[in-house]
Structure formats: structure tokens, C-alpha cells
Amino acid sequence: MYILNIDRTYRNIKRYRQIIGVFISYGFGGIIEQLNIDYYLALGRNIITLNRGGRKQLIRYSNAQRFRMALEELGPSFIKLGQLISTRHDFIPPAVIDELKKLQDDVPPFAYEEVVTVIESSMDVGIHEVFPEFTVEPVAAASIAQVHKARLVSGEQVAVKVQRPGIAATIETDIDIMMNLASLMGRHVQELQIYDPVGMVKEFAKTIRKELDFQIEGRHVDRFAANFKDDPNVFITSIHWAVSTREVLTMDWVEGIKIDNVDVLIKAGLDPKIIAENGATLILRQVLEFGIFHGDPHPGNLLVLPGNIIAPLDFGIVGHLDEELKQLVLDLVMAIISRDIRQLTSILSTVGVIDEDRINMRELQADLYDFVDRYYGIPLHQLEVATLIKDFIAITSHHHIRFLPDMMLLVKTLVTIEGVGRNLNPEFDMISHASPFVKELLAKRMSPKYLSKIAWRQLQELQNLLKMLPRETQEILKKLSKGKLKIEFEHVGLDPLGKNLDRITNRLSFSLIVSATIIASSLIMLTNTGYMFMGYPVLGIIGYLAAGGLGFWLAIAILRSGRM
């Protein structure tokens, strides 16, 4: 029986049996049985037999609690997977999310001798040739790496992040096993299919592999440093690339106070209210201005320096929002404020993934009306981002709307930073603080520079289409004449497709009309005939004005639709 697609080494098979055994011992034997892994079930039955006393003790725990306990026992890879799952408010039950938020990847540090081995093998040089001083005990230790304080030959104090020996191989083995189990779950356990086990593991693999490459994290640091170089309220450390590799990351040492140590901050003469505002501004600029944001701004990753300056640490996890996604998020906010439910529904269908077979659009719109009415008229300072987002995600989750991973990471980031702000200042108002940023973005969208950029992009797309059409048409005719043209057609709901095609066709036709009007007006201007106004043909002037008005109307229509 072909069960595994991983290397059949003793180590991998032993790990596979360990994973299955742990899940069975925590009461998930029924799911394991459905996977049809006959060989490993023999081991599982023995575990169940040997641990009946333990199973009785587990009865008092919920499924979510037992799942969290199983992940903790399985180690770093599964703890990281659980932490990732805890960000997916869009389709994971709240009880499971609340439990998985308790997962911590704090582990005992590895030995100093192993630290030396990793550094010397990675840099191909003796540790004291690079770091004349290097602390034996780490200042922090986690599942993937630990951090030591050191001094460079130049005398600079640095923090050295060293990857845990063998962790990359362990995680790759676990990813292979996770992928096989997820694939079997997707095929055999119907109640788990809605959670997309394979998709979750793929997302986890992509994220964790980036975390394992410290050079990627170093580039993130450089990018954030460039973005905030002129911000006096933010300090970003510097990377020492000459002594950094995939397994070792060396950066300037930052001495500060953890942002949640309010009493210590006050004793140091710092202002918690200003710190809360600076922290919120830090995240809002990342999201709305730069489109790249810190994905894990918990208090342990935020230090405060003299002058109420924020110094974020650990850039292993970051999220990205491209220009289109930023505009869609803004449209989402504006649709909620204006109580435009149709626009809100349209944006959700663009931002999220909707299961057309399971969603009831009328019920979705009714729930969105209730959501908007619930918060309508409440003063901004009385609203909490966490509660607002929780209620909104509850609606989208109920209607099986899923979002991109970066969108859910953004949700986690905003909720976390609001919690940090309210811990510093109980009266902190995240929504009011964000208002100027939203207004600035709205003003930017209506600026001539931005509109001309959109118009130019549309003209370029039109130009590319006109260039491509003759060649593609010729190819189709060739295949048709040779009898090689094949068309595969599958009906999965043609109404949305028809509407999209109509919209695309109308915009293209409209763009052609505007272009033709501009060309015709230009020719009229060159003839210098007919009625004249200030030395220019009136008909040409009218043509330019008409083309400008129609073009501006088209740009507004595109912006309002949320699809650029």
C-alpha cells in the first residue's frame, strides 16, 4: 500500500508513527482510522490500550484543548502550524483559535558548543575571529533560533541570531508528513474538507521556509529601515551582512524596555500615551503607506528607547499588500461607513474567495445590513478594532468566505497593536488614530497624478490588447483551418462570467471611443478651420473637453468598482 511520498528512512517512519501515536493518545483516533493507514493503526491501537488511564483524564478537556496539547507535544513544527492556524479567523472555529493562541514556541536553549559549530560551519571561519566577545548564555531562545550578545572586531555591540542545529531538516520531514496526512484528510474525512488541510500545510510550508532563511529576514530589516529612515519616532536596527548567512544573522544590539512594561516605562520618564500613538502610527504607515508590515508585533518584539521611540524586532514574518489590495481595503472601509451593502458585497467577492455553491447572497446581504446598523452612529472612540473585526469575520466565516493569508495576517496585526495600545493607554482609540491616514489615502486617490497614472495604465493595457489581437486571431484561424482548434466548455455558472465580459467589453469600447475622440480633436486642431476661440477651432476644444470628461468618468467608474 502506497502511503507515503517521503523518503523511507528509519527516522522519517519513526517520526510518522510518533505523530500518529500522539494524535491517537489525545483522542483523535477516530479521525486517524478514517485515513486508512492500516500499518500505523496497529501501533495506534496499542497506544490506546496502554493509555486508557490517560484517556479518561482527557475527557474533561475540549477537542480544541486536546488539539493544542497534541501540537505542543509534537514540537516546534506543529506549534508553528498551530500558530498559523490561529490567524485564520475566516474559517477556523473561534474556540479552536482561542486555544491555539496559547501556543508558545519557547524551548530550552541549545548548547554553546552547537552555537559555535553552526557559526563556524556557516561562515567557514573561527568564531573568535569574527566575534572577539560572545556570550555563552543566550538572551532569548525559541524553536527556530536563539540570540546571543556579542562584539565585533570593530568594537560594535551586536545581537547574533543563530539557527537551531538540524531544525531545517526536522521541519522538512514534518512538512512531508503533514502534507501526506492533510492529503488523506482531504480525501477521507469529509468534515475536515471545509478547512482545506492541504492548503493550510502549503501556506505553512511557504511561511516557515522563509523564516528559516535569515537572509530573507535581513532584507526585510533593510527595507523597513529604508522606509522609516526619516521617522524620528522609529528605530530599525542595521544588519551586518559581512557576518551574516542563511543560518546566522548579525545586527546592531538594541537596548530598550519592553513595550508592555508600563511601570518601568513610566519610571524611565517615558509617556505611555505617546508610545501607544507611535506604535499605532508605525503599523498604520507600514500597511497604508508602504504595503509591507510586521506580521508579529507582540510586546516581546517591540522595545521602547529614550524619547518614546519604538524599535521593532524579529522581522521573520511580514505581510504584503499591493496597491490594488490597499485600495480594496480602503473601499471596504468606505463601503461600511457609507452603508453601501451592494458595494460591500462586491468588494468581498473580490478580496475573498466565495464558494458560489454554498453561499446565499440574500442572507449575506441581510447579515451585512445588521452588522452595519449595529455600529452605525456609535462615536469612534467607543469602537474597538478587535470587536469590530471579530464580528465582521464571524459573518464572512458563516458564509464560507475565505481571505488571502496576508489579509488575515493584517487582521492579527491590527488586533495585536490595538491591544498593545490599550495596555499603554486604556483610552487609546485606534480608529480615530487611523482616520488621518485613511483621509490621506482618499485624497491621494482623487489627485490628478494618481488618476493620470490609472488612465495611463488603462491605455497601456489597451495598447497591449490591440497589439496582441491580430496575432492571436491569426493563430486561432490557422488552427481552425487545420481542424486543430479544440474548445473545452464547463458550465459552472455563466451569469457572473457574462457580466464580467460585458463590463470588460464596455470599458474597452469606451476607451476606444475616448481615444478616437482625442485623435479626431487633434486633427481638427491642425486644420484651423471652422469657428475659432482664442485661435483654436471650437469643435476641437469641445472634443478635448468631451474626451477628458469621459476619460475622467471611466477612471472614477473603475476606482468605484474596486477592480483595476
Distances (CA, A) of 526 to 85, 240, 292, 540, 550: 65, 62, 49, 9, 22
List residues bridging with 148 in a β-sheet.
160
* The pLDDT value given to residue 361: 80
> Could you tell me which residues come within 8 angstroms of residue 511 by beta carbon, excluding any fewer than 6 positions away?
458, 459, 462, 554
Q: Which burial class, exposed, middle or buried, applies to 323 when counting CB atoms under 10 A from its CB (0-12, 13-18, 19+)?
A: exposed
- Residue-by-residue DSSP string for 128-177: HHH-SEE-SS-SEE-SSEEEEEEE-TTS-EEEEEEEPTTHHHHHHHHHHH
Q: How many CA atoms lie within 13 A of 223 on its CB side?
A: 17
**Edge-to-edge order in the sheet of strand 309-312:** 257-258, 302-305, 309-312
DSSP code at position 111: P
Q: Provide the residue type at 203 as one letter.
A: E
* The pLDDT value given to residue 247: 95
* The pLDDT value given to residue 6: 41
**Would you call 357 a catalytic residue per the annotation?**
no
Weakly modelled stretches of the chain, pLDDT under 50:
1-9, 39-41, 43-54, 562
* The pLDDT value given to residue 244: 95
* The pLDDT value given to residue 220: 95
* The pLDDT value given to residue 45: 46
All structural domains of the chain: 10-104+171-207 (no CATH), 106-170+208-254 (3.30.200.20), 262-443 (no CATH), 448-561 (no CATH)
Question: For every residue of 309-347, which 3-state class applies, written as one string?
Answer: EEEECCCCCEEECCHHHHHHHHHHHHHHHHCCHHHHHHH
Instruction: Indicate the SS3 state at residue 251.
Output: strand
* The pLDDT value given to residue 228: 95
* The pLDDT value given to residue 562: 46
Q: Which burial class, exposed, middle or buried, applies to 437 when counting CB atoms under 10 A from its CB (0-12, 13-18, 19+)?
A: middle
Cβ 332 vs Cβ 378: under 8 Å: no
Looking only at Cα atoms, what is the longest distance across the chain? 101
From the list 296, 314, 331, 429, the catalytic residue is 296
Distances (CA, A) of 278 to 177, 253, 281, 287, 312: 43, 21, 5, 14, 12
Instruction: Indicate the SS3 state at residue 456.
Output: helix
Instruction: Indicate the SS3 state at residue 258.
Output: strand
Q: Which burial class, exposed, middle or buried, applies to 250 when counting CB atoms under 10 A from its CB (0-12, 13-18, 19+)?
A: buried
pTM of the model: 0.70
Cβ 322 vs Cβ 345: under 8 Å: no
Nearest CA to 334 among 179, 407, 439? 439
